[in-house]
Amino acid sequence: MSDPLIEAALAARLNAFAPFSKFLVGAAIEDSDGRIHTGCNVENATYGLTLCAERVAVFKAVSEGVRKFRRVAVAADTDNLTPPCGACRQILWEFCGDVELVLANLHGKTETWQLKDLFPKPFDVSYL
């Protein structure tokens, strides 16, 4: 049985704008109402202004008024499943908390993690 969240991440990957790296990544985030919001990586020639798929998905959902999330899926064409970068882990933690995170590739391989296991000591509002 296929997972609609993974399917959405795989589909979003095809919209990636990655003319420099050719590394296409898709992300999908499920909100507390079961709606799925997607994102893809969008590169920039300066690289530092590039946005990862996970942040695009979170920001799109937030811009549409969503504030509570259940799960996130990240899909890339790699043999080793690709976890979110540090910046994306921070954003995911701040907006989603200890969310379930599914990593997937084009060959049907998946792994499921809790964000706290990939990001064990995040900086959050408790430090302010």
Token output for 55: 């942040």
Burial of residue 100 (CB within 10 Å: 0-12, 13-18, 19+) is middle
Query: Which active-site residues does the annotation give?
Result: 54
Q: How far is CA 96 from the centre of its chain?
A: 11
* β-bridge pairing 25-31 and 36-40: antiparallel
